């Protein structure tokens, strides 16, 4: 995607099939932390810093080609606002895939504002915005003069294997950037205030992802994509419903 203008849940068992693949509900989870964000991920995933972006993947060579999480952040500048993020994610993006040509991403669900652990986020999902044949979910937030962007990408034929994993990671998201982080570059790495958050995401995408080059640049082309999309939309709807129930029950506990 072009740079953005910035830049153990028991309820789930009622909604999800058993054994959702690479990152299931039964997986041992641990917390990943860098200087600006934290979230839960399973033991067989690791995150590495690639210049200014963090790239998180499975240690399993095959699963690593199916899904990836990328994190980046910047100092808040004049182009950064929640309204700008919504407008950007609400617009299909033209993407140059090199040898595969130029195509336009498709909005799977439009961006919306959501509260996660007392932090406001913008949440949206595109198809073909970073890698051909991959769904990418975008979450972005602003806190203490720092703008954070996290992308969750998975191949369209494997996305349902990772929906519970991505759900758990999102529900555990916390922005941990300190109030003085922008004045301490060593705490980064951060993009500068005049840069666009997201400009390094596509370049940080691993080169060994399962790109369907034989199906052409159309991100929704090829066999079974329609049924895959319907399945994924159903899973997303169920996960969002489960998240709402979870938040409601947590509020009742207070």
Kindly report, residue by residue over 71-88, the tens digit of the pLDDT. Answer: 999 999 999 999 999 999
Residue 228, token pair as written in the block: 């895959």
HEC string for 197-231: CCCCHHHHCCCCCCCCHHHCCCCCCCCCHHHHHHH
Which tens digit of pLDDT belongs to each residue from 47-63?
999 989 999 999 999 99
Average pLDDT score over residue span 89-114: 88
Structural domains counted in the chain = 1
DSSP single-letter state for residue 234 = H
pLDDT score at 237: 58
pLDDT at 15 > cutoff 50:
no
* Cβ neighbours of residue 10 closer than 8 Å, sequence gap 6 or more: none
Q: 102 falls in which pLDDT band (50, 70, 90)?
A: confident
Q: Are strands 134-143 and 106-116 parallel, antiparallel or unpaired?
A: unpaired
34 half-sphere exposure, CB direction, 13 A CA radius: 22
| Domain presence at residue 136 | yes
User: Domain of 61: which CATH number?
Assistant: 3.40.1000.10
Q: Is the pTM of this model over 0.85?
A: no
Whether residue 56 is contained in a domain is answered as yes
> Domain range for residue 176?
10-253
Residue 32 has pLDDT above 90, yes or no: yes
More confident residue, 134 or 14: 134
The more confident residue out of 22 and 239 is 239
Question: Residue 2 domain-assigned?
Answer: no
Residue 228 has pLDDT above 90, yes or no: no
């Amino acid at each position: 995607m072009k740079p953005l203008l910035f830049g153990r849940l028991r309820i789930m068992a009622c909604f999800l099939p058993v054994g959702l693949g690479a990152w299931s509900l039964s997986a041992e989870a641990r917390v990943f932390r860098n200087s600006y964000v934290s979230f839960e991920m399973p033991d067989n995933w690791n995150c590495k810093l690639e210049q200014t972006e963090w790239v998180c993947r499975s240690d399993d060579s095959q699963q690593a080609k199916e899904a990836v999480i990328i994190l980046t952040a910047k100092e808040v500048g004049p182009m950064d606002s929640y309204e700008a993020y919504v407008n950007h994610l609400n617009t299909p993006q033209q993407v140059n895939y090199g040898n595969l040509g130029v195509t336009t991403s498709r909005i799977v669900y439009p961006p919306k504002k959501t509260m996660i652990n007392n932090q406001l986020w913008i949440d949206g999902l595109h198809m073909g915005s970073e890698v051909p044949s991959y769904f990418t979910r975008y979450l972005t937030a602003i806190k203490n003069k720092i703008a954070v962007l996290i992308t969750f990408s998975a191949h369209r034929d494997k996305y349902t294997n990772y929906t519970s994993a991505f759900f758990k990671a999102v529900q555990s998201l916390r922005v941990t950037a300190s109030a003085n982080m922008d004045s301490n570059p060593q705490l980064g790495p951060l993009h500068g205030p005049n840069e666009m958050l997201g400009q390094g995401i596509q370049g940080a995408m691993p080169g060994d992802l399962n790109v369907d080059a034989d199906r052409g640049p159309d991100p929704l082309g090829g066999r079974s994509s329609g049924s895959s999309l319907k399945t994924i939309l159903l899973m997303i709807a169920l996960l969002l419903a489960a998240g709402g129930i979870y938040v409601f029950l947590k509020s009742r506990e207070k």
